[in-house]
Structures are given as structure tokens and as C-alpha cells.
Chains A and B, each alone.
Chain A
């Protein structure tokens, strides 16, 4: 069993690679180091959970992986491109093309309909209105919200809002889905539904990086990376 798992791992190519990443912040004149030399690799099609208590630096790590922030030192590659040396506009393109975000508090734009929210990444890709609409509708169909596409986020339940957010993450068909406590703002039942959807996406071949503090949720991943005090303490490989 374990040998097949290893051969499977070696067949996959690394999609994300962090090498000795440090992140320091100036906080009230004091320098705080939240990441202290993190190195990790995530392979194509993998489902990885990053867990750690609050203040462990897992959110900072997620911001790094999601290209929302740049490391103070160390290097970071996505798909063979060195992201840590990129300019702001290039980072925006990477976020647009390679990463789909699923946030704890959904982060939908309240003035826009579900469909328009899902279209947003495609707007910044410069797609034509027609192609955009088709692709966004397709993504909404995948999360089962096609008939609600003209609703505003405020007219949707929490679970539905998170599904719209997932559809937005899927719309641009990015190789990486980055989920930050995706069930954190949901009740147990809808949380389960959302997790099921993430599993489905994983089975369809998406690479999934899940950040959570909940060990139960983390246990559903293939691999769990534990972060304590800005460093990787240990990595568990789960049995499927």
C-alpha cells in the first residue's frame, strides 16, 4: 500500500515549492518574525491541510502561498515560476490564473449578484462578456447554485454564499484551490456539505491546500502539515 502511495507521489510533479521562507513584520517598532524558515512542497493533485494553533503563522503561510504577500527572505515557486521575485502586477496575474481562494468569511462583493461575483476573476482576465457568463454559469452549476445566480449574497444562506465563493474560485479553472478555514463560519451540517464539495473537487484533479485549526477537518486531507511558532513541526501522511 505504502509503496504505491510513494510511486504515486514521485509521479506527480511539484506544483508549489517553498524554500526557507521567512516573514518579518514591523509591529509597533518591534520586529516580529511569523515564519521562520519554512520549506515545503505540494504536488499536483494533492490535498494538503495546514494546521496549527492561532498565532502559529499558518495565516501568514497561507498569504504567502496565495501570493497575497511576499516573503521577507527565501524563495517560492509556483508551477516552475519563481513568485518571490515577482512585481505586484505579475503577482496579480498569478493570483488570477493559478489560484482560487475560498475564504472563511466568503469575501463576496455585496453589491454584485452571485453570477457577477463568480465572473470577477474572469473580468480581470479580460475575457469577453459572453464567454465570461458561460464559464461563470458553468462554475455555479458545479456547486448547484445555477438557479440562484441573480441573487445578491445577502439573499443567500451562509452555505450558499460559501458555494458561490467556491464557484468563484473554480471559474478561472486555476490549478490550486486555497481554502482558509472554509467551514469556520458555517454550522456543522453546511460545513460538511462544503467539505464534501472540496473532496469532489479533489477527486476531479484539483490541488487543494486547506488551512484550518480543526484537527477533524484536517484529517480529511491526504497530508497534514503542522505549524507551530512559525516552523513546520511535523508532517503526517493520512491513510485514505
Chain B
């Protein structure tokens, strides 16, 4: 028998029992679309978190000082001297705390960060209107402030905050810039570092952000920074930590990879269940069609012909289901990304893998019943009712 004829025959028998075919297909469709959807959600989460970490600033190192005994922080001058470490592009020391911000009768508790002009580059934080903190603001402890979007809405409603005044713990500050939308800075107020030292009554600097010149240099810069810190703190190395953005990314991606694997695993199980569904239906179909097999054998069908017919049937069923599953999975992904805030990112790899797997399942689970059918003796198959 020719292969094209075997295909035609399989197609005819698929069409002749639509309900059964649809039920079989459903298992694979759900399996494949689940794999694609869940893995896409996992990958979307990975790339969203990665983008967020990278959005903190490129080639970023952050130094946080917990301190021990007498010395619990470094001075502004010490912090600025980190600039001289080889490979460092810019340094942004900060002090931070919480203050009561007030405009008329509107009043919020908000975190305040005292920053320098380099903060703009190091943390890639920009203003959408107005201007950023300038070196002169820091030098003269100017009472100027940058405001995050949510805090601005809290205090000023819809009116433009730039140019307006607000009270921070009773001190009057002029707002010179409105920060760009960014999840880490929407609820903050940023003021010159020297003004913050006064406002918060804390002179010491406990957080310093540093930017390495290139991504490759971050680990070297980290080592040099730690060396310098150990000189300042006299080798009590648990009084400071230096975090590398790359390390953060590694941690984050290890978490999201685990998430992806877990989601993919769950979906994979549903794919296997779908495959068992195919095997089940194929087995039932073989039993149901024993007489047909007998008739085909009595007119001269060989074992190979019967095997081929059933095998092609299961491959065609799982192939078509796989394709529908891909479409449903991608469609579901679009839907999820529109309804929820999740980022969904489908990759060609996962589409190809899940499609390949569904066809493989078709072959694998098709072989067993097909073989059973093909091995029937014609006389036994014909007698079957």
C-alpha cells in the first residue's frame, strides 16, 4: 500500500468519528496550550524582573554599611573618595529616612533620600519635568526637592508640582523636578544630600551606589571597594556589604528559572495525561474496530498496512491538536497579558518543543494499540462483535 493512500485512509477514519477525535484532541490541545502559556508566563516574569534589576542602573554596585561599635557609617568625604578607585565611573552616596511631607492640609509619610548629582547617572533616575539635583544644591544645602509621581499625586492632586513648595518635617522645600515613572522611586522624595543630613539629623552615610566603567569591571571594582572598606573599618568585614548587580541578577534568575521549571513541569504533566488520553482512545478504537481490521486483513491488508493506518491516525490527531494547542496557548498568552499585569513572553523554542513532544506522544502512544491491532489474526478479528 502506498503512503499517500495510507494517509487518505487515516484521514477518512478520523473524519468518520468526529466526537471521538475531538475528545482525544482536547487532551493534547489543553496540554500543549498549558505548556506554552505557563512557560511564557514564567519567561515573561524572568524578563520583567531582569529588566527591573537592570533598571536600577547599569553596572551597579551598592555598598551598604551596617557598622559596628564606634564607627557605624562613613563620612561624605570618605564616600566621595571611592570615586578614586580604579574602574569606578561615578559614585552616589545617599542618606535616607522617613519624613512627614505636607502641602496645605494634605499630609503623607514618605521616604526621603539625600542624593548627589551623580545619582542621576548611577541609578538611571531621570526627571520628566523640571531639573535634577545639581552639584551646587549639594554644596549649599539648598532646600530643593525632586518628587516621585505617586507622592506628587498625593500632595498636589492633578496640578503640576514643579515650582510648588511643600513642608518636610516643618522645613520648606521647593520642588524643582518631577521624577519619571519607576516603581522604585514613585513613592519617594529626593533632596540634596547635605540638606538631607540636616533634615534627618544624620551625618553618616550608610548607602553608597557605585557605577563601574564596564560590566566586566564590576567584580574587580567590588574587590577593590571591599579592600578600601576593610581599611576604614579595620577588618571587621561584617560591618559592610558590597552587592554586585550581576549577583542580584543571578539570584533573581535562579528564582525565576525555578518558577519556569515548576510551571513547565505542571504543564508537562498535563501533556502526558493528554498523551495517555490518546493511547486510551486508540486502544478503545482498536477494540471497536476489530471487525474492520479483520475485514481489511481478509482482503489482503498486511500487518504493516494496519500498523501504518493506526499510526498515521494517531500522528495526524496529535499533530493537528499540537497546532491548535499552539494557537490556543499563544492566544491565551495575549489574553493573560491584557487582563492581568503579568508579562507574557512566548519563545519559538518552547513552541517547537511542545509541538514536537505532542507528535512524539502521538507516535509513542499510537504504536502500542496499533501494534495490538496489527497482530490480530484475521480469523479472530472477523469473529469479533
Binding site for B on A (CB under 8 A): 63, 66, 68-69, 88-89, 92-93, 95-97, 101, 103, 107-109, 111-112, 120-121, 123-126, 129, 168, 172
Q: Once A and B bind, how many residue pairs between them come within 8 Å at the CB atom? A: 69
A93 CA to B301 CA, complexed, in Å: 8
A92 CA to B12 CA, complexed, in Å: 23
CB of A68 within 8 A of CB of B292, answer: no
Contact A120 to B296, CB < 8 A, known contacts A88-B302, A89-B303, A92-B302: yes
A193 CA to B292 CA, complexed, in Å: 27
CB of B382 within 8 A of CB of A124, answer: no
Q: Which of B299, B300, B301 has the most CB of A within 10 A?
A: B299
A-contact 0/1 string along B1-12, CB 8 Å cutoff = 110010001001
Specify which chain A residues have a CB less than 8 angstroms from the CB of B16 in the assembled complex. 111
Binding site for A on B (CB under 8 A): 1-2, 5, 9, 12-13, 16, 291-292, 294-305, 377-379, 382
Specify which chain B residues have a CB less than 8 angstroms from the CB of A123 in the assembled complex. 1, 5, 9
In addition to A68-B298, A95-B378, A129-B5, 18 A-B residue pairs with Cβ atoms within 8 Å of each other are A68-B378, A68-B379, A89-B304, A93-B300, A95-B298, A95-B299, A96-B300, A107-B382, A109-B296, A111-B13, A121-B299, A123-B5, A123-B9, A124-B1, A124-B296, A124-B299, A124-B300, A124-B301
Partner of A107, one of B2, B291, B303, B379: B291
CB of A88 within 8 A of CB of B303, answer: yes
CB of A126 within 8 A of CB of B304, answer: no
CB of A121 within 8 A of CB of B295, answer: no
Closest CB-CB distance, B297 to chain A, in whole Å? 7
CB of B300 within 8 A of CB of A121, answer: yes
Closest CB-CB distance, A68 to chain B, in whole Å? 4
Specify which chain A residues have a CB less than 8 angstroms from the CB of B12 in the assembled complex. 111-112
Specify which chain B residues have a CB less than 8 angstroms from the CB of A172 in the assembled complex. 299-300
Closest CB-CB distance, B335 to chain A, in whole Å? 38
A88 CA to B136 CA, complexed, in Å: 97
